[in-house]
Structure formats: structure tokens, C-alpha cells
Amino acid sequence: MNWSEEAFALLADAEEEAGDLQPEALEAEAGNFLRHAASLAATKVADGLIDPKLVLAWLLTHLGSPAFLVGLLVPIREAGALLPQLVTAARIRSLPRRKWVWAGASLVQGLAAAAIGLSAISLDGAAAGIAVTLALAALALARSAASVSYKDVLGKTVGKSRRGAATGLASSAASAAVLVFALALILRPEARFALVLAALVVASILWLAASALFATLREPAQPGQRSGALAQLGLLREDAQLRRFIAARGLLVATALAPPYLVLLGAGDTALETLGALVLASALASLLSSYVWGRLADRSSRLVLIRAGLLAALPLALAPVLPAVGLLDAPRALPLSLFVLMIAYHGVRQGRSTYLVDMAPPEARAAYAALANTAIGILLLAAGVFGALASSFGAGVTLGLFAVMSVAGAWVARGLAEAEA
């Protein structure tokens, strides 16, 4: 047994061969598992370093860009990454090897991150805002292709019982690097602009490195399949479990939308302090929970979705009560609430990713991923508008509504079949 097989056995608890892989994939599973973990970790670090709702929003504010351009960052990132997938999946499914799509998409994301950095150095005001949002749109479209292709490649190269370990390991490893970045933002307030520029450069390099590494995966070829977007929509009619999964995941988007409203409760926080605190809370929560969530998802991703939804409801329901009981100014109250919420958020991410890969028929993984992500893109935009309207009644009311959504998502997930059975 060589070092890669030993590491694979240790990290994925892989004592038995996977029964759902082709012989060629079985032979290369150990090396492919480590390539998946390393490539995904690099891109997750890059994602954390240029987080649109935190880092890029702060950057455009610092550069004096108009507020409406700052407000476009998250919708462009989310909609661009999710909505096109129904169309791009048909083309991706026609390819015998789909690793090249992910590698090419990572290359484009690296170039887009570099363009954001150049824009920040050379422009300011509205010009900087327009340039950054255009580069972010290109990054989001590339991420869309990466998302569709990744679940399919993962299903072909790593066995069902250790996919969650691969993605969870990558998330936990990546969060350690982002944690260092968050601490630097907090400890060196005078150098924040330089730190953000450096983060953009590092993110670009990491995406390029991930592209090169992922290209070395040993992915078995399989006959390509062609189907149009309308044909993929038929899956919603045919598969009741897919409809329920989309409904549960749509309700659980509350965990992604809630953090900014939670921070709004802390009236004393400055924008700069919020940047460091948010990045720190997210990175620490991911570091401590992603691998654990991933291993639990390998046993039952359905239960992970249920538990994460219920866990998210706790801080979302309790946080609005903090001002009434005089605990809002307590030094640990709001950070602890945010930390627990981010743990739940990472649980939702691990659960939904693992469940989708494990529930989908091998020949239709890309179609399932595209259809689910397109639907969630629409629901996410709708929920974002809903949250914005609700915010006129105050952050506390909005958080209460998100708590209800989280509980409802857990309840809907109860009716899902066990994908890992």
C-alpha cells in the first residue's frame, strides 16, 4: 500500500472497495480522492478570499463605488452561478470526460479574480464598481459550469461512501487558510486594503493551480448524452424525490441569506470590524464542522439536512430576543449566534451536495445538478427579495422568518428517501 492509499484509507475510512465505480475508477480512487480534496480546497480558499457579500462589498465601498453596484454583487454571484446550469448541462453531458469543464472553469475564475485585482488597483468610483461586477459575472458563469460538471466527475471517480469525506476535508482544510486571512483583517486594520489586494492575487493563483491539478484526474470515459433544457425539466415531473429535495433546499437557503441581517443587530459594529468578524466566524465554523458534516453525510445526507436546518433555527429565533433581554451588547452573544448559524450553513452545504450526487442516476447526475441549481437560483433570488422587503420591518423580524424557513426545510427533508441506503 503506497502513501496515497494509506492517506485515503485514513481520511475516508475506506476499508472496502466501492461497488458503484468502474474497474478503472476503482484502481485510481485513492489518488483521485486526494486530487479532489486538494483541488476543491484550493478553490474554496479562493472563494473565501473574495467572498462577494463580505470582501468585495467592502472593497467597492472602500473604492467609493455607488451603493447600487455594491448591492448587485451577491445577486450577480448567485444568479450567475446557478441560473445558466439548465442550459450548460446539456452540452456538458455530451462530453465523454467532464473534468476538462471543471479545469477550464477554474482557469477562467482565476483570470477573473486577477481582473478584479487589476480593477481595484487602477480604478475607483463607479468605474471600479462596473469593472469588478463585470469580472464577477464572468467568474460566476465559469463557476456555473464547474458546479454542473463537478458532481458528475465526483460520482464517477470516488465511491458513494466517501464523497462527503472528500468535500468535507476540502472545506475544513480551506477554512484554516481563510481563518488566517480573517485574523489578519482584524489585527492589521491599517493594512486592510493591501490585504484584500493580496487576497485577490492569491485567489487567482489558487484557481489556476486547481485547474492544473484537476486535469490530472483519472476519469473513466463514458458515452456522451444529449438532451435539451426542456427534456431536463421533465425530470421534475418524473421524480418526486427531486421535487422534495429542491423544496427542502430552497427553504434552507435561509442559512445563506441570514448572516447579514444577524450582523445588522449589532448597531455598534463598524464596517471594517464586521468584515473581519464575518470572515472569522465563517472560517472557524467551516474548520470545525465541514469534515464532520461530510462524514455524517456519507452515512445519511438526509439527516444532515434535517439537523442543520433545526440547528440554524436556534440562533435565528434567539437572536431577535437579544435586544429585549439586554444581551445584545454582551461581547460573546452576537458572535456566538453567528458562529452557530455558520456551522448550520456548512451542514446544509455538505448535506445538499452529497444527497444530490448520491440520489441521482449515474447517467443523469449533470442534469439533476443543473435542474436543482437552476431552481435554487430562482428561489434564492425570490428569497433575497423577500428578505429585503421583510427587512423594512427590522432585522429581528427578518431573522424570525428565516428561522421559520429553516424549520420548514428540516420538516420537508424528513420525507426524503435515504440516498445512501
The residue with greater pLDDT, 270 or 142, is 142
CATH number of the structural domain spanning residue 272? 1.20.1250.20
Q: How many domains does the chain have?
A: 1
**Out of 113-127, 159-173, 210-224, 326-340, least confident range:** 326-340
User: Which triple of cell numbers denotes residue 121?
Assistant: 488597483
> What interhelical angle do 29-49 and 271-318 show, nearest 10?
110
15 part of a folded domain:
no
Whether residue 87 is contained in a domain is answered as yes
Judge whether 334 lies within some domain.
yes
pLDDT one-digit tens code per residue, 3-17: 666 766 666 665 666
Tell me the angle at which helices 125-157 and 85-93 cross, rounded to the nearest 10 degrees. Answer: 40
Contact 283, 192 (CB under 8 A): no
- Cβ 305 vs Cβ 355: under 8 Å: yes
The number of beta carbons lying within 10 Å of the beta carbon of residue 364 is 19
Among the residue ranges 149-153, 194-198, 293-297, the one predicted with the least confidence is 149-153
Q: What is the mean pLDDT of the chain?
A: 80
Could you tell me the pLDDT band of residue 186, with boundaries at 50, 70 and 90? confident
Burial class (CB in 10 A: 0-12, 13-18, 19+), 183: middle
Model confidence, pTM: 0.73
- Is residue 6 included in any domain, yes or no? no
Print the domain residue range for 367. 21-414
The predicted structure's pLDDT at residue 331: 47
The single residue listed with the C-alpha cell 421524480 is 239
